[in-house]
Amino acid sequence: MAKKVAEEAVELGLEAVQGHREATIRESADLIYNLVVLWTAMGIAPEEIWGELDRREQLYGIAEKLPKNRDPLRAKQARRRPLAAAALPR
């Protein structure tokens, strides 16, 4: 299943780079579906993913993809924090 997720991600990326809006929508749906199947197979509830996203937003704000080495102490502390047990539904 992990290989299928990777395949769908590549297909999505290629369609997006080419500017194919409708194909990007279809490939996004494929990726999300296969990702949820992977989570289910691994016993991961979507709420755990939302909790991790919430945790990152609290740490980094909207700029989630800031370089992790910007503040080494803060990054180290973030890695030690457990995932949120429950998250708001999205």
For residue range 21-54, list pLDDT tens digits in order: 999 999 999 999 999 999 999 999 999 999 999 9
Q: Answer for the pair 38, 8: CB distance below 8 angstroms, yes or no.
A: no
Question: For the residues 52-62, what does the mean pLDDT come to?
Answer: 87
- How many Cβ atoms sit within 10 Å of the Cβ of residue 23? 15
More confident residue, 84 or 81: 81
The domain segmentation of the chain, as residue ranges, is 2-41, 46-80
